[in-house]
């Protein structure tokens, strides 16, 4: 019997802007509202970044995370909260002197990158294993920094979702698993469609999946126009799925989505039409071996 498919909704990220789609959630209240709507539409996990409510720029402000999490937890909606730890890993070289960081650099310590995880204790948080050129800067996740972040995440009782952008990231994951830095069964997220990382496509996803540990759960997604094709491909290969305005702002060619809910509804329809079922929150917790909050 086919196990249920866990559907995650990445409601807002770092590169999508209101100029791409003016229904992108920006304020903590808007982000929480979109998470709740996504859960009602069938998502069991919501992956969350925060933004400055005035400028809409990506933020690491703890109070914004705290407000989003508080609003979700005080609602009558049960969903698995997945907070990002990606911000704080970017180095942008100064044009005149590449050894000097330009003002856009956010590179910081493991403790700062995981402060909101330690204090808010979501059930899941992301742990990016990539070091690559990404969106105008270098994303740097050194093995030693990952070891420190992982220790803080596990000490908080949180399960890391391992974000892998290319085959070398999976090789690093195997090393960290072998040494005990990461615990099994691991949860992987295969990222496709990001420039200089895994190219989107069936062959790429089959290759990436073949590199994963046997004892793991995995999901995958595609960026931009590849969002729905890669969602279907992930399902067909036995993985879990992700959709959301971090990854895509169009419901179909030429039609922008009105918030995250329509994206989730379409994702549920695709999974159902292919013969699958979307996991409930309780089923997702069981598959991922999570404990309900407060248990």
Q: What is the percent of the chain where pLDDT is above 90?
A: 97
pLDDT at 248 over 50: yes
pLDDT at 293 over 60: no
Has residue 293 been placed in a domain? no
pTM for the complete prediction?
A: 0.96
Has residue 295 been placed in a domain? no
For 62-71, the pLDDT digits (tens) are: 999 999 999 9
Chain-centroid distance of CA 49 in Å reads 9
What would the DSSP string read from start to end of 47-66?
EE-EE-TTT--EE--HHHHH
Angstrom distance (rounded) from CA 220 to CA 19: 26
pLDDT at 294: 44
Has residue 202 been placed in a domain? yes
Has residue 2 been placed in a domain? no
Number of domains comprising the chain: 1
189 within 8 A of 162, measured Cβ to Cβ: yes
CATH of residue 46: 3.20.20.70
Domain coverage including residue 51 = 7-288
Tokens at 204, concatenated: 């790429």
Angstrom distance (rounded) from CA 81 to CA 142: 26
For 3-20, the pLDDT digits (tens) are: 999 999 999 999 999 999
Closest by CA to 131, choosing from 116, 113, 144, is 144
Reported confidence tier of residue 141, pLDDT bands at 50, 70, 90: very high
In the DSSP assignment, the letter for residue 140 is -
């Amino acid at each position: 019997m086919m196990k249920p498919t866990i559907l995650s909704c990445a409601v807002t990220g770092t590169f999508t802007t209101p100029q791409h789609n003016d229904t992108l959630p920006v304020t903590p209240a808007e982000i929480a509202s979109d998470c709740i709507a996504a859960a009602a539409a069938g998502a069991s996990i919501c992956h969350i970044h925060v933004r400055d409510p005035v400028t809409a720029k990506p933020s690491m402000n703890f109070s914004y995370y705290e407000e989003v999490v508080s609003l979700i937890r005080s609602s009558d909606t049960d969903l698995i909260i997945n907070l990002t730890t990606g911000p704080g890993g970017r180095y942008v070289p100064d044009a005149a002197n590449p050894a000097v960081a330009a003002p856009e650099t956010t590179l910081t310590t493991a403790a700062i990158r995981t402060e909101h995880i330690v204090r808010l204790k979501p059930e899941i948080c992301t742990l990016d294993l990539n070091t690559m050129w990404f969106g105008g800067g270098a994303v740097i996740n050194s093995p030693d920094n990952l070891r420190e972040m992982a220790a803080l995440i596990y000490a908080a009782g949180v399960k890391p979702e391992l974000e892998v952008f290319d085959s070398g990231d999976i090789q690093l994951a195997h090393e960290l698993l072998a040494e005990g830095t990461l615990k099994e069964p691991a949860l992987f997220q295969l990222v496709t469609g990001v420039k200089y990382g895994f190219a989107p496509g069936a062959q790429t996803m089959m290759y990436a999946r073949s590199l994963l540990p046997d004892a793991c759960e995995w999901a995958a997604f595609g960026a931009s126009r590849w969002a729905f094709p890669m969602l279907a491909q992930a399902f067909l290969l036995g993985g879990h799925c992700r959709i959301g305005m971090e990854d895509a702002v169009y419901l179909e060619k030429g039609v922008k989505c009105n918030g995250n809910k329509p994206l989730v509804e379409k994702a549920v329809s695709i999974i159902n039409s292919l013969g699958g079922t979307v996991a409930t929150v309780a089923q997702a917790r069981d598959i991922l071996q999570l404990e309900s909050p407060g248990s």
